[in-house]
C-alpha cells in the first residue's frame, strides 16, 4: 500500500475557492481532503507536485512518519501554505489507512469518547434582530442548531469612534437575547481586526451582561503576552487559535494563560497528526478545544473524527454550504453531527464525475482603509 500519485482539483465551497487533493496508493485506495484557502490558492497544485516527489513509494499507513518527514523537509519552520499542504497529505493518508483497515478514522485514534459532535452555525455577519431571528429559526428547525456565531461589528469599525462600536454591540446583544430562547448560545468573532488590547477588553465588557459563549480573536495573534493580559481583564470566555500554526505556538499561548478556549484549524496546523498534539497540550492546561472550521465537507469530516476521539473537545464550527462534489456530507441533526461507525475512512464519498471540470471561483481579501488613508486589519 505505497503512495503512488497525488492529484489536485480546482473546486469551490459556496463562494470560496477550494483545492481538493486525492492521494492514490499502488493498490488503488484513494484518500481525500480539501486544502485551506489561505491564498494564493493556485500555488497549492505546484506545492503538492513538489511534495509528491518526496513521498512517492512510502507506505501510506505511515501517517505520522510522512507528517514528520514533510515538516523536516524545509530548513525553516513551515508557514501557512506549507502547513496547509502538509495537512492535506496527512488527512488523505488517515483516510487511506482507515479504509485499508475497514474502520472509521476515529477508531485508529483509540476509539470514540462521545456518541455525537455538537456544532454551532457560523453566520459571520451582524444582521438586524428580525432578520437574525428568521435565520436562526430556520437553522434550528432544519438542523436543530441552538448555538450561533456572529460578527460583533454593527458599523464600520475603522471609520467610527470605538466607544460607539462597543455600545451598539452591547445593546444589540441584549436585543438578541430577548428575541431568542434563553438556552440558545451566541458567540462573537472579532476576526483579529483590533490590535489594541484595551479595545478587546471594552468589547468583552459590552458583551458580558448577556453571557456570550465566547469572544473570538479580538486582537492580533502575534504578541502572546497581550492575550494573558486581556484574559485577566475580561469577564467573558476568550477564544483564539485559528491564526496559530504549531504545537509550540499553542504552548506559548497556554503558558501565558491567554485563552479559555483554543480554536486550532485542523487544515492549518499540519493536519490531524499535529491537532492531537495541540489538544493534549490544552488538556494539560484545563482548556477545551473548539476547532475553527469555516470550510467544506472534507474538513468537517476530519474535525468530526478528531472530536469523536478527543476528550477535551467542546463544540465545532459548522458552515452550511452545499457543494457539487459530495452528496453525503455530515449534516447536523438535533444540533449534532452523528458518527458513521459502519463507514470506513472519513465516512463520506466524493463524486469524481463532478471533478471532471474545474469549478473555480476567484476570491481575495479586501483590505479596509481608514479615514487617513492607512490600511487596517480585517
What is the set of active-site residues? Answer: 191, 292
Cα–Cα distance between 277 and 310 in angstroms, integer? 11
Angle among Cα 323, 328, 329 to the nearest 5 degrees reads: 65
What does the block give as the cell for 83? 502547513
Contact yes or no for 51/78 (Cβ under 8 A) = no
Residue 365 corresponds to which cell in the numbers above? 481579501
Which CB contacts under 8 angstroms, 24+ apart, belong to 172-181? Answer: 172/126, 172/129, 173/206, 173/207, 173/210, 173/212, 174/209, 174/210, 175/129, 176/129, 176/132, 176/210, 177/210, 179/129, 179/132, 179/133, 180/133, 180/136, 181/146
14 Ramachandran zone, left/alpha/beta (phi>0; psi -120 to 50):
left
Question: Exposed/middle/buried for 111, CB within 10 Å: 0-12, 13-18, 19+?
Answer: exposed
Residue from 227, 220, 224, 260 nearest 243 by CA: 220
- Measured CA to CA, the distance from residue 204 to residue 190 in angstroms comes to 10
Are 103 and 111 in contact by the 8 Å Cβ rule? The answer is no
The three grid cell numbers given for residue 66, joined into one nine-digit string: 510522512
Cβ(69)–Cβ(55) under 8 Å?
A: yes
Q: List CB contacts of 35: < 8 A, sequence separation 6 or more.
A: 18, 19, 20, 21, 44, 84, 85, 87, 88, 267
**Rounded Cα gap, residues 289 and 137, in angstroms:** 27
The closest alpha carbon to 309, from 86, 125, 117, 141, belongs to 117
Amino acid at each position: 500500500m505505497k503512495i503512488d500519485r497525488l492529484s489536485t482539483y480546482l473546486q469551490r465551497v459556496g463562494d470560496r475557492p477550494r483545492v481538493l487533493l486525492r492521494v492514490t496508493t499502488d493498490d488503488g485506495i484513494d484518500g481525500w481532503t480539501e486544502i485551506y484557502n489561505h491564498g494564493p490558492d493556485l500555488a497549492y497544485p505546484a506545492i503538492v507536485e513538489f511534495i509528491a516527489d518526496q513521498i512517492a513509494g512510502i507506505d501510506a499507513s505511515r501517517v505520522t512518519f510522512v507528517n514528520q518527514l514533510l515538516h523536516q523537509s524545509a530548513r525553516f519552520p513551515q508557514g501557512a501554505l506549507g502547513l496547509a499542504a502538509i495537512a492535506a497529505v496527512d488527512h488523505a493518508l488517515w483516510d487511506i489507512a482507515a479504509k485499508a483497515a475497514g474502520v472509521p478514522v476515529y477508531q485508529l485514534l483509540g476509539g470514540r469518547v462521545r456518541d455525537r459532535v455538537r456544532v454551532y452555525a457560523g453566520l459571520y455577519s451582524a444582521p438586524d434582530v428580525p432578520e437574525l431571528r428568521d435565520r436562526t429559526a430556520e437553522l434550528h428547525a432544519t438542523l436543530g442548531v441552538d448555538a450561533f456565531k456572529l460578527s460583533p461589528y454593527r458599523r464600520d469599525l475603522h471609520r467610527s469612534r470605538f466607544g460607539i462600536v462597543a455600545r451598539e454591540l452591547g445593546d444589540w446583544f441584549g436585543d438578541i437575547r430577548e428575541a431568542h430562547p434563553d438556552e440558545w448560545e451566541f458567540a462573537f468573532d472579532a476576526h483579529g481586526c483590533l490590535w489594541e488590547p484595551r479595545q478587546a477588553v471594552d468589547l468583552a465588557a459590552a458583551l458580558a451582561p448577556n453571557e456570550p459563549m465566547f469572544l473570538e480573536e479580538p486582537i492580533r495573534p502575534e504578541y502572546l503576552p497581550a492575550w494573558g493580559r486581556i484574559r485577566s481583564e475580561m469577564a467573558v470566555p476568550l477564544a483564539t487559535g485559528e491564526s496559530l500554526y504549531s504545537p509550540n505556538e499553542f504552548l506559548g499561548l497556554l503558558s501565558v494563560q491567554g485563552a479559555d478556549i483554543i480554536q486550532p484549524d485542523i487544515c492549518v496546523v499540519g493536519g490531524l497528526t499535529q491537532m492531537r498534539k495541540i489538544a493534549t497540550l490544552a488538556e494539560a492546561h484545563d482548556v477545551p478545544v473548539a476547532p475553527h472550521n469555516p470550510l467544506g465537507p472534507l474538513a468537517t469530516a476530519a474535525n468530526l473524527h478528531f472530536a469523536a476521539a478527543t476528550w477535551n473537545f467542546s463544540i465545532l464550527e459548522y458552515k452550511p454550504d452545499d457543494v457539487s462534489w459530495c452528496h453525503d456530507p455530515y449534516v447536523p441533526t438535533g444540533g449534532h453531527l452523528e458518527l458513521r461507525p459502519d463507514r470506513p475512512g472519513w465516512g463520506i464519498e466524493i463524486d469524481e464525475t463532478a471533478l471532471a471540470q474545474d469549478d473555480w471561483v476567484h476570491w481575495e481579501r479586501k483590505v479596509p482603509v481608514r479615514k487617513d488613508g492607512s490600511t487596517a486589519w480585517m
